[in-house]
Structure 1
Amino acid sequence: MTRSLLIDGHLDLAYNAGLGRDLTLPLEELKERDPLAPRQRATVTFPELARSGLRLCFATLFAAPRTPEQPGYTDPAGARRRALAQLETYARWQDAGHVRVLRSRAEVRAHLAADSAPLGVVLLMEGADPVRGPDDLAFWQAAGVRVIGPAWGRTRFAGGTDAPGPLTPEGKALVRAMKDLGLTLDASHLDDASFWDAAELGVPMISTHANARALVPGNRHLTDEMARHVVSSGGVLGLVFHSRFIRPGWQEGNPRAPLGELTRHAEHYAALVGWDHVALGTDLDGGFGAEKTPQGVDRYCDVWRFVETLPTAVQAGVAGENWQRWLTHHL
């Protein structure tokens, strides 16, 4: 195929830098000195993203909570410190010419029209615990954040993945304030009860990286009704490239899910809402590496192998034009 515009709805760039990965290196060079190897096999660096043709991505501020498997924050102040450190990472990268933080639809249009430009990034906060409260949203908006997912697991705002529950009173106040400021809600990771609470408040939604629950059970994924609602608010659905989110019952150590099974998620969403609302949200190197990606995706450039499994007429839309349309009309 002739490679078209490529936009990714979800990459944890600064989070990986915080774990000691130097994303300015060529991918093979990073692999030689990767602090997360061999447990996670890296797929993302800036040279690799440039080689793939990626023009723009939603790049996260992801403050990971402490779990038995990983260190992380234990209180809102700790979450805020981690997110601020990642914000500073994006600022340093921008100063060095590796990225360009995009804050408006006009900036997105200008960036995509440029013949040569660094990677464009739209800042997405994944898990809202770094936000002190509704009055703090203006600070994060001024810093460039344009999308917020209230949950990852449970936060003080919302129930999330494997942590059922509604929006808390503080969460409802946060979502109302997001709506008033024109910020978009990322529905990825929201538990059903929290999702529908947010829906009732009328905040615009996207789903940067969540697959179809009709194919893989669990509240990490969107029901058909949720997917329809996201699209009814003007949103787009990003597909995530983790085998556990592609094949039901997949466990670490199993053979990686075939690319065709990810294609089934795309086809399922398309049957619900149309191909114009299906896009990429790969989450590559988002706490996992090539050992858990679909078969054939061993580095970021291989994302095109998935795109090529789709009907020819919709490939350009899924690769980037559907996110482009959303960004240039709603950011």
Structure 2
Amino acid sequence: MLGRIMIVDAHLDLAYNAMLGRDLTLSLGALREQDPLTDRATVTFETLRRGGVGLCLGTLFAMPQDAAHPWGYEDWQGARAQAQRQLEQYLRWQDHGHVVLLTSGQEVVEHARRWSADTSPLGVVLLMEGADPLRAADDLPYWAGAGVRVIGPAWKRTRFAGGTGESGGLTERGEDLMVAMRELGVILDASHLAEEAFWQAINLQPKVIASHSNARAIVPTDRHLSADMLRAVAQLGGVTGCVLFNKFLRAGWERGDARLPLELVGEMLHHLAQEVGWDKVGLGSDLDGGFGVHELPRGLESAADLPRLAQLLPDEHREQVMGGNWLKWLGAQL
């Protein structure tokens, strides 16, 4: 642990994994024995607790239909059904004391004040990753009323914006959504936005973070943010969360390659800090976000190992990056 500071992870696909059949209430060993997915799991409520993770941005992520996911959504109604199912999962977990949904900065501050690694439920701020579950901007009040406080308009391309691997700007529907988000105080997550859409979006909704993005200068694909994009998020006060996927830490790494050294996470964090300052950098691990333990750097066997990242950071910035920066931002802006 890091003294009294809890770790904050700005991107975990908890309910999506549950939708696919993973029971996060099990011990990690028990989950791995019956895991229906091929990627070796790293996240359970037990491992998060052992790792000192007290708060996360938990996603509502609807998977679009493709060859690998023939069950994915074909229209907004299908995307909405997936997101609604995941929302209900968070509510069930809350009923059983595994999580507590946080919807305001005051609730975040109070959760952090009372948090105990041994006894507290995991604090969850809901993040919709990919906006296709929304019919249109006029649907936003429903989701905000249900607790969604952050929306990333894209994953790949959506009806709202160009996204990873599928370039393009905001659609007319996307522009309307940015205005509605600004008016309702729903935060923009810039991760996965195509570059053209990114610049349009932050002009319309400047309350922005990048929940799980790395530096394009190190891994040069459109999945990551250029130096100008990183600085724009920081200049608007937002924090960027570092992703721990090997493919996002070293250019050219592919699944099946040997696991990378943990020190590469430190190199990415230092690079991000060089661009935006240590006060604008945090974690957005994306653990179990379509990859498992074999796609993580050596030394990260589960979420329980996240405290090991602290040793990669300057002493004076450890608590900030491991949780303090996100806590400060969420406490002030949520």
TM-score by length of 1: 0.97
Task: Work out which of the residue numbers 122, 135, 141 in structure 2 matches 1:119.
Answer: 122
Using the aligned pairs only, state the percent identity. Answer: 53
Task: Work out which of the residue numbers 143, 166, 170 in structure 2 matches 1:167.
Answer: 170
Letter in 2 for 1:188: S
| Residue in structure 2 matched with residue 238 of structure 1 by the alignment | 241
| Residue in structure 1 matched with residue 51 of structure 2 by the alignment | 52
| Residue in structure 2 matched with residue 85 of structure 1 by the alignment | 85
Alpha-carbon distance change, 84 to 202 in structure 1, aligned in 2, over 3 angstroms: closer
Deviation (angstroms), 1:203: 2.7
Determine helix, strand or coil for the equivalent of 2:166: coil
Please tell me whether the aligned partners of residues 52 and 307 of structure 2 are also in contact (alpha carbons under 8 angstroms). Answer: no
Structure 1: how far apart are the matches of 2:193 and 2:115? 38
Alpha-carbon distance change, 134 to 49 in structure 1, aligned in 2, over 3 angstroms: same
1:97-136: CA deviations, max 9, x gaps? 1100000011111111114421000000000000111111
1:210-246: CA deviations, max 9, x gaps? 1000000111000011011111111001000101111
| Residue in structure 1 matched with residue 62 of structure 2 by the alignment | 63
Task: Work out which of the residue numbers 208, 211, 214 in structure 1 matches 2:217.
Answer: 214
Structure 2: how far apart are the matches of 1:93 and 1:163? 35
Letter in 2 for 1:64: M
Unpaired runs of 5+ in structure 1? Answer: none
Letter in 2 for 1:113: R
Please tell me whether the aligned partners of residues 99 and 121 of structure 1 are also in contact (alpha carbons under 8 angstroms). Answer: yes
Deviation (angstroms), 1:161: 0.5
Please tell me whether the aligned partners of residues 297 and 303 of structure 1 are also in contact (alpha carbons under 8 angstroms). Answer: yes
Structure 1 runs (4+) deviating above 4 angstroms are none
Between 1:129-138 and 1:109-118, the stretch displaced more is: 109-118
| Residue in structure 2 matched with residue 302 of structure 1 by the alignment | 305
Determine helix, strand or coil for the equivalent of 2:158: coil
Structure 2: how far apart are the matches of 1:138 and 1:2? 38
Alpha-carbon distance change, 76 to 223 in structure 1, aligned in 2, over 3 angstroms: same
| Residue in structure 2 matched with residue 23 of structure 1 by the alignment | 24
Please tell me whether the aligned partners of residues 176 and 203 of structure 1 are also in contact (alpha carbons under 8 angstroms). Answer: no
Deviation (angstroms), 1:259: 1.7
- Are 2:13 and 1:12 equivalent residues in the alignment? yes
Unpaired runs of 5+ in structure 2? Answer: none
| Residue in structure 1 matched with residue 318 of structure 2 by the alignment | 315
Deviation (angstroms), 1:202: 3.9
| Residue in structure 1 matched with residue 184 of structure 2 by the alignment | 181
Please tell me whether the aligned partners of residues 188 and 205 of structure 2 are also in contact (alpha carbons under 8 angstroms). Answer: no
**Equivalenced residues, count:** 329
Q: For the aligned residues, what is the CA RMSD?
A: 1.1
1:173-231: CA deviations, max 9, x gaps? 11111011111100000010000111222431100001000000111000011011111
TM-score by length of 2: 0.96
| Residue in structure 2 matched with residue 96 of structure 1 by the alignment | 96
Letter in 1 for 2:87: L
Letter in 2 for 1:30: L
| Residue in structure 1 matched with residue 150 of structure 2 by the alignment | 147
Deviation (angstroms), 1:45: 0.4
Letter in 1 for 2:25: T
Structure 2: how far apart are the matches of 1:192 and 1:60? 22
Structure 2: how far apart are the matches of 1:167 and 1:99? 34
Please tell me whether the aligned partners of residues 175 and 203 of structure 1 are also in contact (alpha carbons under 8 angstroms). Answer: no
Letter in 2 for 1:221: H
